[in-house]
């Protein structure tokens, strides 16, 4: 039986990549919870609030789910909670489900989104401190390349 004691380059690359991505995700999740709690919301509301604030014409649940990279059910729950809190609304007739009607932020929702944007700006600044503009561009370009490659791999691999 061949037991490796020394990590291979492949093992080191795998661990570095996977663990860093997981740790970044965990850090982002914790920060979303922390910052959204300050606004009386949950971390799950962050992406919906952000994108609804970016699209003043509104977004349907499907469009919002795509923008947030989340499933429709999770987005629907978050939006329903934003509506319940008076932060979002849609123009669907009373009693209809409104999935195809765009949701928009209310005036109060725009104020909360503005407060969130201030926090996002700070977090992004802290997260990127120590990077030059060129390093930041290279990082994002590299991540886009890796994501594109992995998406392509997933689409082409037989199930």
Please give the pLDDT value at position 95.
65
DSSP 103: E
Element (H, E) at 33: helix 9-38
φ/ψ bin of 130: left (φ > 0), alpha (ψ from -120 to 50), beta (otherwise) = left
pTM above the 0.95 mark? Answer: no
Only one residue has tokens 């919301």, namely: 41
Please give the pLDDT value at position 5.
57
Please give the pLDDT value at position 140.
95
Backbone angles phi, psi at 105, to 5 degrees: -75, 145
Nearest C-alpha neighbor of 46 from the set 63, 31, 56, 24 = 31
List, in order of start, the domains of the chain with CATH numbers.
44-127 (1.10.10.10)
Please give the pLDDT value at position 108.
97
**Which neighbouring-strand residues pair with 150?**
none
Do residues 43 and 36 touch, judged by C-beta distance below 8 A?
Answer: yes
pLDDT in tens, 110-133: 999 999 999 999 999 999 999 999
Ranges of the chain with pLDDT below 50: none
Please give the pLDDT value at position 104.
97
Please give the pLDDT value at position 157.
82
Residues 6+ apart with CB under 8 A from 103: 52, 58, 59, 60, 61, 64, 79, 82, 83, 88, 89, 90
pLDDT in tens, 14-25: 888 999 999 999
Please give the pLDDT value at position 12.
86
């Amino acid at each position: 039986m061949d037991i490796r004691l020394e990590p291979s380059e492949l093992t080191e690359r795998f661990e570095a990549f996977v663990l860093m991505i997981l740790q970044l995700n965990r850090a982002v999740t914790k920060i979303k919870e922390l910052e959204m709690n300050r606004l009386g919301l949950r971390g799950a509301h962050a992406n919906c609030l952000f994108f609804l604030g970016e699209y003043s014409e509104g977004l349907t649940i499907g469009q919002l789910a795509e923008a947030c990279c989340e499933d429709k059910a999770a987005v629907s729950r978050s939006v329903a909670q934003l509506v319940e809190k008076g932060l979002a609304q849609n123009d669907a007739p009373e009693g209809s489900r409104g999935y195809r009607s765009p949701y928009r932020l209310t005036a109060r929702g725009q104020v909360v989104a503005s407060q969130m944007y201030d926090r996002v700006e700070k977090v992004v600044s802290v997260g990127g401190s120590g990077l030059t503009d060129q390093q930041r561009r290279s990082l994002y370009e590299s991540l886009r390349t890796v994501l594109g490659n992995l998406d392509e791999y997933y689409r082409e691999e037989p199930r």
